[in-house]
A = this chain, B = another copy of it.
Amino acid sequence: MTIQRFTRALIPTVKETPAEATNASHQLLLRGGYIRQIGAGIYDFLPLGLRVLRKIENIVRTEMDRAGASEVLMPAMLPAEYFQETGRWDVYGPVLLRIKDRKGGDYHLGPTHEEIITDMVRREVKSYRQLPLNLYQIQMKFRDEPRPRGGLMRCREFVMKDAYSFDIDEAGAVKSYETMREAYRKIFTRLGLTFRIVQADSGAIGGKTSAEFQILADSGEDAIVACDNCDYAANVEAAEVAAEPAASGTAAGEIEKVHTPGKGGIVDVAAFLKADVKDFLKSLLYVTDQNELVMACLRGDHEVNEIKLANAVGAREIHLASEGDVVKATGAKVGYAGPVKFNGRIVVDPSGAAIASAITGANETDHHIKGVSFARGDYKAEVKGIRSAGAGDRCPQCDKGRFKAYKGIEGGHIFILGTHYSSKMNATYLDEKGDKKPIVMGCYGIGVSRLIASAIEQHHDKDGIRWPMPIAPYQVVVATLGNDAAMMEAGEKLARELEERGVEVLWDDRDERPGVKFKDADLIGIPLRATIGAKTLATASCELKRRDSADPKAFDLIPLAEAADRIAAEVKKAMV
C-alpha cells in the first residue's frame, strides 16, 4: 500500500465559515474539504467525503447481507411506463425530474424504486417457494426538492439505501419488517450514532408497521418525544398520550362570566385573570373535508394534533375555520369560543375533560367563563385524544415513564407497504394450492449521504468534527513537525507501521507550522493524532491525542517503538 500523504491528497481546508452554510455539518463539510457545491443541492464528494460515504455504505451493506438481503442495482434513468402503471407519473409532481430521450420517449430519474423492484420480482418470482425475498440497493437518488438545504441534509442528488421485502402474507411481512428493524438497530449502533426508533404514524395498525430511525441532534427538524423509562419514542405528531385520570372532582361553584376586554390569547387572559394556563379549556373551530364544523377543546398548554383530530371525527383532512365562520358559529370574535351552550359537534381531549374547574370562552366577544366542568355536564362532547404529545407527558407504553423532548434527523424509515404496489402491478405468486395471490411488500430506506451530515451534527465542537471511529475518513493522522530527513523518516516509518497493522492513516507531511497542522486535524476530525516533534523525536516518542477527549490539552507520550501497536489496539477497541 501507498501511504496517503497530505501533500498528495486533495484536502482543501478553509479557515473562514462559508456564508451560505447555516448548520454545523454544512459548515464543517465545506471547511474540512469534504464536499463542494456545484449547483443547488448538488455536490462533489472530495476524497475525504467519499471515504466517509463508503464507510457508511459498507456498514449498511454488511448488516443488510447478514440480515439475508441480496444487493441489486437498478437504473437511475427510468422509462415512464412503470410509474405510469401505478399512477405516480401523474401525481408525483415537480419533485420528479423528467427527461425526453432522442426519440421523444418519456423518462424520469428515480426518486425511489418501488415500481422497478416490483417489476423485477413479478417477472422472476412465480411460486411461494421463491419467497420470502429481500432485495436492496445503494444508489444515487434524484428529487427536485423545492428547497435543497443544509449541505448533505437535503440534496437533489443523494445516496440512499433502499430495500424491499416480498412475502407470501402479512405475517411474513411483519417478520421481514422485524428483521429489518433489528438490522437497522445494528447499523445505527455501529455507525456510532445516538438514535431513537420512533413511531412515525398513528394509523390503524398501531404504528407497528412503520418506524423512523431518528438521529438525535439539536439542529434536527423533527420534534420527537421518548419515554425516560422504556423504549417508546414517537414523532410529536404521531405520539400517543396515556389517558389522564378522570376529573378528580367538579367545579366548586357555579359558572361565572368574567369580562376580559381585548384579551384574545390564552396567555394574556391567564395573566389578566391571574390563572394558570393549565386551567384553561382552549377551544378551536375546524372544518372537515366534508364541510362539517367541529369544535376541538383541550387544555390551555396543549396543542391540537390535526391528524389525530381528523381521525377522531372520521375526516380525511381538516383545517382551521375562517374568521368569518368562527364569528358565525359562536356569535363572538375569534378568541372567545367555548363549548358551553355551543350548538355543534365538540371533541374534547381527555386532559381537557379532566380539568375540574376550567376557564373557557363565553362565545361572546370580550368575555370568558370560569368554573366549567365536563364531569358535571356543563357541556357535552366526545372525549378523544386529539393533542400532540410533549415533554412531561406520561408514556402510553409503560404507563410509568414521562416523555422527554428531542430534536431528530430522520436517518432511516421502515414500513410495511402491504399489497399497494403488488396489486397495482400484478405481482403475484402461486401458493401451495396453486392459487394466485398478491405478494406482500415492505420497504426500508436509509439516507446514506444524509448520515454523513447527521453524524457531524451529533459529533462536533467549536474546532471541527469529532468522527466516531467507525466512519472517520482516516483513523489516525500522523503529524510531523518539521521536515528534516530524520523527521520525515520517523513519520513515514510510523505511518507505514500503522498501515501494516490495518490502521487507516493520513500522514500530514506538509511544510506548515504546527498550529496549522493541529487546527486542520481538529477541523477534519480524525479520532487520533500522533504528533512527532523535534523534542519527542529526540526521546524517540510521539504524543497521542484523542479528538474526543474532554480536555483538549490532554495527550499520552508514547515511545515510537510501541506507538503502532498501542494505536492499532486503541483503534480496534473503538470500532464498535
Contact = CB atoms under 8 A, between A and B. Distances in A.
Interface of A: 1-2, 7-10, 12, 33, 36, 38-39, 42-47, 49-50, 53, 65-66, 68, 70-79, 82, 94-95, 97-99, 101-102, 107, 109, 116, 119-120, 123-124, 129, 133, 135, 140, 142, 144, 146, 156-157
A73 B99 contact: no
Given A66-B2, A124-B10, A73 B97 contact: no
Nearest to A14: B124
A109 B99 CA distance: 10
User: A49, A119, A124, A142 — which one has the most chain B CB atoms within 10 A of its CB?
Assistant: A124
A38 B156 contact: no
Tally of this chain's copies: 2
A133 B95 CA distance: 37
A99 B109 CA distance: 10
A479 B191 CA distance: 38
Closest 7 pairs (CB-CB, A-B): A39-B79, A45-B73, A94-B102, A12-B124, A47-B70, A42-B75, A102-B144
Given A36-B123, A82-B38, A140-B140, A53 B73 contact: yes
Interface of A is mostly: mixed
Contact of A78 (B8, B38, B78): B38
B142 A38 contact: no
A357 to B, nearest CB: 54
A49 B12 CA distance: 37
Given A97-B101, A101-B97, A124-B12, A2 B65 contact: yes
Contacts of A71: 47, 50
23 contacts: A1-B66, A2-B66, A2-B68, A7-B129, A8-B68, A8-B70, A10-B72, A10-B133, A38-B74, A38-B78, A39-B77, A39-B78, A39-B79, A42-B79, A44-B72, A44-B74, A47-B70, A47-B72, A47-B135, A76-B140, A77-B142, A77-B157, A97-B107
A75 B10 contact: no
A361 to B, nearest CB: 43
A79 B10 CA distance: 23
